[in-house]
Amino acid sequence: MEKTKDILTDTFGRKHNYLRISLTERCNLRCTYCMPAEGIQLSPKEHIMTYEEIYTIAAAFVKLGVTKIRLTGGEPLVRKDAATIIEKLASLPVELTLTTNGVIVDRFVDLFKKSGIKNLNVSLDSLDANKNKDITRRSYFDKVYQNILLLVKEGFNVKVNCVLMKGFNDNETIDFINLGKELPLHIRFIEFMPFDGNRWNMDKMVSLQEILSEVNATFTKDEIIKLKDAPNDTTKSYQIKGYQGTFAIISSVTNPFCDGCNRIRLTANGQIKNCLFSSAESDLLTPLRNGKSINPIIDKAIQAKFKIRSGMDTLDKFKKIDGHNNRSMITIGG
């Protein structure tokens, strides 16, 4: 039998076996760092992939070698046919997982179990209900917190994504880490990244080094255990001695882990992006609808991938580009 050409491997030898699919541009929250205050221009409904199209594209990627799929958004669970999509994708031979804001996750627990989903990322940026309201522009703190506890109780492996901001929630770093004392939660601090309309400013960002300095000032050297990071991990992971949980830092701004990048992103309107910071997109949906093969487009997009952060290989280059002509995060899918 003819061997399929390995089109998921780029010119730097990185194999892209991890596909992130954004199910929707819509969300039930309005996080300040993710979407502009004035909202976003939603794609017309007919430009959004149907569940059959999502399945067809996902299956094509799986055939090419994708082994892990993450559903994201917007908020993936607000899509009306989210359950159907999850059920369909669960039939593919992949590790299926989700990133969610947790607001309605309790409605999906049984489906997740049935679909073999074991790992979930839930976003929570403050343990203070008022601050949470300020950042999400909605009042769902109690619901999200209870849902995180529910997922743990139900046996899911839960990672909590947290974006720290100077002078806002950076005094909660240790409180978040301390959640892991009694709960097997994996806290992931994500450096605040620039996207269209999110008023990014380096001065607001809490860096890897700043987080580690605070950790070093709070715990003794003996208490801080450096964990081994997996080859494609974008995190530096740690554990405090005796804690059930762990914490990690995703330093996409100050120390990007592009060498091991294995991700490719599919937006809700059917465009692939070879890097979170790339403004270039390749349309898969139109050729799919026209009955053409999407493989040559995937091939071209992967081969065009830059070594580091879409060509912004230094922090200086990165800082200069406001919003990077990129979409808002809510329409990319983090």
- Give the residues lining the site for ligand SF4 (CB under 6 A): 27, 29-31, 34-35, 73-75, 101, 123, 329-330
Using CB under 6 A as the binding rule, whether residue 101 contacts ligand SAM is answered as yes
**Closest separation in Å from C-beta 259 to ligand SF4:** 26
Q: Which residues pair with 18 in a beta bridge?
A: 68, 263
What percent of the chain is helix, strand and coil (3-state, nearest 5)? 35, 20, 45
Beta strands 236-240 and 246-250, pairing class:
antiparallel
Q: Which of 17, 24, 72, 207 binds ligand SAM (CB under 6 A)?
A: 72
How far is the C-alpha of 219 from the C-alpha of 301, rounded, in Å? 45
Amino acid identity for residue 298 in this structure? I
Which one of ligand SAM, ligand SF4, none is in contact with 195 (Cβ closer than 5 to 8 A by kind)?
Answer: ligand SAM
Sheet holding 68-72, edge to edge: 224-226, 236-240, 246-250, 186-190, 157-163, 119-123, 95-100, 68-72, 18-22, 263-266, 271-273, 282-283
Which one of ligand SAM, ligand SF4, none is in contact with 161 (Cβ closer than 5 to 8 A by kind)?
Answer: ligand SAM
- Residue 27 or 240: the one with the smaller Cβ distance to ligand SF4 is 27
Q: Which of 62, 120, 135, 193 binds ligand SAM (CB under 6 A)?
A: 193
Q: Yes or no: say if 309 and 326 are a contact pair by the CB < 8 Å rule.
A: no
Using CB under 6 A as the binding rule, whether residue 73 contacts ligand SAM is answered as yes
Window of 68-76, 89-97, 238-246, 281-289 that interacts with ligand SAM by CB under 6 A = 68-76
What letters, b where the CB count within 10 A reaches 16 and e where it falls short, cover 115-148? Answer: bebebbbbbbbbbeeebbeebbebebbeebbebb
- Residue 145 or 219: the one with the smaller Cβ distance to ligand SAM is 145
- Residue 206 or 308: the one with the smaller Cβ distance to ligand SAM is 206
Which one of ligand SAM, ligand SF4, none is in contact with 35 (Cβ closer than 5 to 8 A by kind)?
Answer: ligand SF4
- Residue 32 or 218: the one with the smaller Cβ distance to ligand SF4 is 32
Nearest CA to 282 out of 291, 270, 293, 292 is that of 270
Q: Which of residues 272-331 bind ligand SAM (CB under 6 A)?
A: 329-330
- Residue 82 or 288: the one with the smaller Cβ distance to ligand SAM is 82
Q: Hey, what's the torsion of the CAs at 91, 59, 75, 107, to 10 degrees?
A: -10
Which one of ligand SF4, ligand SAM, none is in contact with 30 (Cβ closer than 5 to 8 A by kind)?
Answer: ligand SF4
Through-space distance between the first and last CA atoms of the chain, rounded to whole angstroms: 38
Instruction: Determine the residue with CB nearest ligand SAM.
Output: 334
Q: Yes or no: say if 105 and 122 are a contact pair by the CB < 8 Å rule.
A: yes
Max CA-CA distance within the chain?
Answer: 61
* Number of residues engaging ligand SAM in binding (CB under 6 A): 20
User: Which positions lie near ligand SAM, rule CB under 6 A?
Assistant: 27, 33-34, 72-73, 75, 99-101, 123, 161, 163, 190, 192-193, 195, 198, 329-330, 334
